[in-house]
């Protein structure tokens, strides 16, 4: 896909506007316009303000189709959806799955994961974590996650992102590089990843996901940009 001078996706936006954009996007499957994103040193040392984090097992299908769509212009997508798989130990017997959704009133979904889903962290155990996120981490989140991974070498994290958040910004690129250097596996979501996430984390009523026309093209675009950043 040719580079059209992709506009930066902005984190903040009004939830009323996002809701309206979501309804329009799902009904018409059209493109939209600014966007969203997301926010561990030693987790124990963090002082967190009150925050709103929604946690559950299954995402509303309309929210998934809007928030995870890997469009070039991502208007109204001003929050982060984080679907996770968490395995403790060397087997998948204790696999935990779910999702987090942030409202940007405090910590972002990435930060909340370590506070809520790894609340009983045990340094003697091995943790294998996979995230499917609506957009890649912001610079602050990336730096905190990198610090956690360096401090907790028994945590192995893979992040698969539908879109790259503000990838043209130097601080965002530095954050992604820091994550990569800390051992985090980073990749853009492929078309098959969207179908898997739909089947695993969405209230889909056993309906298959009809991928949007430019899904593969947009994946290739973002993956090329990510490869350039991490090289």
Question: Nearest 5°: CA angle at 218, between 215 and 223?
Answer: 120
Alpha helical stretches, state H, 80-211 = 109-116, 139-151, 170-181, 191-201
Q: Which one of 36, 72, 88, 110 is the catalytic residue?
A: 110
CA 52 to chain centre: 17
Report the candidate in 77, 192, 73, 209 with the shortest Cα–Cα distance to residue 135: 77
DSSP for 13-46, please give it.
--HHHHHHHHHHHHHH-------------SGGG-
Residues 37 and 110 sit within 8 Å (Cβ to Cβ): no
Residues 88 and 119 sit within 8 Å (Cβ to Cβ): no
Residues 138 and 95 sit within 8 Å (Cβ to Cβ): no
Residues 106 and 50 sit within 8 Å (Cβ to Cβ): yes
Question: Nearest 5°: CA angle at 136, between 52 and 46?
Answer: 45
**Helices and strands (H, E) in the chain, number of each type:** 7, 6
Is 110 annotated as catalytic?
yes
The residues carrying an active-site annotation are 110
């Amino acid at each position: 896909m040719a580079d059209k001078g992709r506009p930066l996706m902005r984190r903040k936006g009004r939830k009323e506007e996002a809701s309206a954009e979501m309804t329009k996007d799902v009904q018409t499957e059209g493109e939209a316009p600014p966007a969203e994103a997301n926010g561990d040193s030693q987790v124990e040392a963090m002082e967190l303000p009150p925050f709103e984090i929604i946690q559950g097992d299954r995402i509303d299908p309309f929210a998934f189709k809007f928030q995870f769509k890997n469009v070039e212009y991502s208007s109204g997508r001003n929050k982060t959806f984080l679907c996770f798989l968490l395995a403790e130990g060397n087997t998948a017997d204790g696999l935990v799955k779910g999702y987090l959704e942030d409202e940007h009133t405090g910590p972002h979904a990435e930060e909340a994961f370590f506070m809520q889903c790894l609340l009983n962290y045990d340094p003697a155990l091995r943790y294998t974590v996979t995230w499917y996120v609506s957009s890649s981490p912001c610079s602050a989140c990336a730096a905190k996650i990198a610090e956690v991974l360096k401090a907790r070498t028994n945590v192995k994290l893979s992040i698969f992102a539908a879109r790259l958040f503000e990838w043209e910004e130097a601080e965002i690129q530095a954050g992604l590089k820091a994550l990569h250097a800390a051992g985090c596996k980073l990749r853009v979501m492929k078309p098959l990843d969207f179908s898997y996430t739909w089947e695993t984390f969405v209230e889909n009523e056993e309906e298959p996901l009809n991928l949007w026309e430019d899904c593969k093209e947009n994946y290739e675009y973002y993956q090329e940009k990510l490869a350039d950043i991490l090289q």
